[in-house]
Amino acid sequence: MEEEGRSRDRVGRRPKRFLTPMQKYEIYLQVIRGEVTMAEAAAAAGVDRTTVVRIRQVAKDGALSALAESRPGIKAGTRDVEPDAVKAEIARLSETVRLPGSQAQK
């Protein structure tokens, strides 16, 4: 009772199939758009239908949490530290390249 040449373990289960994040996203999009049913998507990917259900749930939860945290505009209290670091590095390098007699000219 091998299905299409797939090997099975001693218990009769198919070996695990690991999907990349991009493959999961493509499955999610196909199901959401209505291009395929969950059963068709699972069969095409070689996974169980519960895997497709889980992909949909994780994508939904992730999207909802990201949307809940997003606010329009700049977050209050956050400051971009990169310009400060760049300015400090410029000052350090400027001191390094100054000629010995240039300190008195300041």
Q: Are 20 and 35 in contact (CB under 8 A)?
A: no
Structural Rg of the chain based on CA atoms = 28
pLDDT value at residue 79: 63
Q: φ and ψ at 102, to 5 degrees?
A: -80, -10
pLDDT value at residue 89: 85
Helical spans, DSSP H, in the chain: 21-33, 38-45, 49-69, 82-97
pLDDT value at residue 1: 46
Q: Cβ-count burial of 23 within 10 angstroms (0-12 exposed, 13-18 middle, 19+ buried)?
A: middle
- What pTM value is reported for the model? 0.55
**CA-based nearest residue to 56, from 13, 15, 71, 47:** 47
pLDDT value at residue 17: 82
Taking all residues of the chain, what is their mean pLDDT, rounded to a whole number? 81
| Maximal CA-CA distance, the chain | 91
Residue ranges in the chain modelled with pLDDT below 50: 1-2
pLDDT value at residue 58: 95
